[in-house]
Amino acid sequence: MKNKAIFSIIGIVVVVGLLAAVGLALGKKDNTESRVKASPVCELAINLTPKTTLTPSKTPTPTKTPTPTPGKCAVSFDLPDTAICVKDPVTGMPATFTVHSLPSTGGPFFVQTDWYIVLPKLGPHHYVWTEPAIVGKTYTIYGDWPGIPNFPNYNGTVENHYGVNIVDNNGTPVSPNCTGGLDFYWTPYVNCPEQTPTPSTTSCTNWGIDEKSGTGSKVVKISQDLSTVTLAKNYLCSSGFCEIESMDYDPSRKTLFVVPNVAPTRGLYSVNTSKNDNIADGTLTLFKAFNPAFQVNGLSFKKSDSSKVWLWRNGHGLYTMDLSTGATTLDYASENNVESIEWDNQSRYLYISGSSKTNDYKVSEFWKYDPMSNTNKITSLPNLPGVTHSMDFAPADYLNGSLIGYNESPGKNFYTYDLINNKVIMNYPNVGINGDAFAACIPD
């Protein structure tokens, strides 16, 4: 369905004032929704894993829930405009809204959502128009937060905006009143007390593949500081298993999986990671054969969907595999040669590293796949810092949920990456492997 609807958002005025008697008020208005004054609230209010726990100066007044009126339309976000202190960039910051009522005639109706960064630098709109509007249903929009530049010395405002329209089958807004909007924002007046985060108690191990084409594949463990590699099991090609170029963890099955491109049976294999059994670490067991079978260069599970796994086949594109039948289906055709794919922690975007050049794999190109886009589902992002053979998103309590990549060339090292500002957060030491596959912080 093509997205014909366009949000009519004209102008955003930011007024920040410090009133000695009454404290901070920040308000804005555009032509689609009225803005609500809000006081600083803690990060937990938007379901983020906080680095610091904030003590709100007062609890903001909740947005009044519209009273459903038969024959009329009402939609609202579940929070008012909200001040937050989130210093680092966040990919996939959630905002929820609820459809309270819909017109009695003229359906079917759909929700059209949008988000964009307002400040410190205006970003592009991200429109989505795919879901039917259902009375009483709560929906979630995942947007990005740019982080607070040069904190605590930044004197400007940081803000992102979420919006929703109810549209008809032709993409036409139902009513100027059937819209909703929400802003998360930060100003220098928002309280950001420094507190020590509670250390993670998660016991986990990073896993990977040290691949030498034509010789063998080593299943390896990587320390939490991403600086030490130890061998779990070595598979020589002569043994029947090698050319393992993809790996990912399925949280619903609590199982680590790989795809050996040389194997007695082409398919998805589980990797033994348990310390509490008599099976050697790194032992592979066939979970489900492919039908039809093909070489796989990328593997990723959505955290929100345990029914299938996503696979990349170079020269052909993105496939899904039904985990109950093994059936593989082409989802998106592409001739790109890919090194790694990975869904983010919100299961919103699939990130892809590789090369668009047919005969040159030594390229650090980077893409984002948006399954809900009505136009180009795969868009180009700025190049990664090196030829990234593997990557994974850390869980929230390990390295702040960052994207971890393995720079095969020139560094032979792991790095964490800021997806909002397109830059390396930290480079880790050279570990000297051919890291063709990687899975972050697999529970012990």
pLDDT at residue 67 greater than cutoff 60? no
Pick from 200-204, 237-241, 325-329, 360-364: least confident? 200-204
Higher-confidence position of 225 and 64: 225
Q: Is 195 among the domain residues?
A: no
Structure confidence by residue, pLDDT tens digits, 353-392: 999 876 666 678 999 999 888 778 999 999 999 999 999 9
pLDDT single digits (tens) 246-260: 999 999 999 999 999
* 6: in domain: no
Percent of the chain with pLDDT strictly greater than 70:
80
Q: What is the distance between the alpha carbons of residues 238 and 111, in angstroms, rounded to a whole number?
A: 55
Question: Does residue 242 form part of some domain?
Answer: yes
For the cut 80, the answer to whether the pLDDT of residue 61 exceeds it is no
Whether 98 is in a domain gets the answer: yes
Respond yes or no on whether the N-terminal peptide bond of residue 292 is cis (omega within 30° of 0).
Answer: yes
Residues 311 and 242 reside in one and the same domain: yes
Q: Give Cβ neighbours of residue 27 (< 8 Å, ≥ 6 apart).
A: 15, 35, 36, 37, 81
Q: Give yes or no: residues 273 and 145 share one domain.
A: no
Indicate the residue among 124, 152, 186 that finishes a domain: 186
> Mean pLDDT, to the nearest integer, of 406-423?
88
For the whole model, what pTM was predicted?
A: 0.67
In a domain, 197, yes or no: no
305 in a structural domain: yes
Q: Whose CA is closest to 399, among 409, 412, 414, 384?
A: 414
CATH of the domain at 140: 2.60.40.2550
212 and 276 housed in the same domain:
yes
* 189-227: burial string, b at 16+ Cβ within 10 Å, e else: ebebeeeeeeeeeeebbbbbbbbeeeebbbbbbbebebe
Is the domain of 214 the same as that of 120? no
How many separate domains does the chain show? Answer: 2
Residues 182 and 208 in one domain: no
What's the rounded mean pLDDT across residues 295-305? 92
pLDDT the model gives residue 36: 32
pLDDT of residue 103: 87
Domain end (from 186, 215, 248): 186
CB 210 within 8 Å of CB 171: no
Q: Region 387-400: what's the mean pLDDT? A: 91
Give the range of the structural domain holding residue 239, as residue numbers without chain letter.
Answer: 204-443
Residue 71 is predicted with a pLDDT of 56
Q: Is the dihedral of CA 269, 275, 277, 281 positive or negative?
A: positive
